[in-house]
Structure 1
Amino acid sequence: MDFQLEPELVQIRDTVRKFCEKEVTPFAEEWEKNEVFPRETIRKMGGLGFFASPFPEQYGGTELGFLANIIVAEELGRASLGLACCLNMQSGTCPMTLLLNGNEEQKEKYLPGIISGELLGCFAVTEPNAATDVAGIATKAIKDGDHYILNGSKMWITHSSVFDVGICFAKTDPSQRHKGLSAFIIEKGMPGMTGMAEKNKLGVRSSDTGQIVFEDVRVPKENLIGEEGQGFKIAESALTYGRANIAGRSLGIGQAAVDAALKYANEREQFGQKIGFFQMNKQIIADMVAEIEASRLLVYRAAWLQDQKRPSSNESTIAKFYASEAAVRAVIGAAKIHGAYTYSSEYPVARLYRDVMLMTAGEGTSNIQRLIIANNALGWK
Structure 2
Amino acid sequence: MRLMLILFFSILLQACQATDKPQMPRPTLPQLNYAAELFDGGVPAPEDFYQLSAAQIKSLNEFVAQEHIASLPRYKQAYAYLKKRLVNFNFQGENYSATESLENNGGNCMALAMLTYAIAKEMDVEFRFQVMHTMPVLLDISDEIAVTSDHVRTFLYEASEDESVALFGRSRVQIDYFPDKYDRGGKLINQEEFLAMFYRNLAADAIFIGDLNYAFLLLNKSLKIAPYYEPAINMQAVVLRKLGDEESAEKLYRYGLEIAENKITLLSNYHFLLELDGRAEQADRIKQQLLALEDQSPYTWYLQALDAMSKQDYKSAKVYLNKFLQNTHYYHRAYYDLAKVQVILGEYQLAEESLALAMKYTERTQDRSLYQTKIDRLSNL
Larger Rg: 2
The structure carrying a bigger strand percent of its residues is: 1
TMscore range, shorter length: under 0.3
Q: If the length of structure 1 is used for normalisation, what is the TM-score?
A: 0.24
TM-score, normalising length: structure 2: 0.24
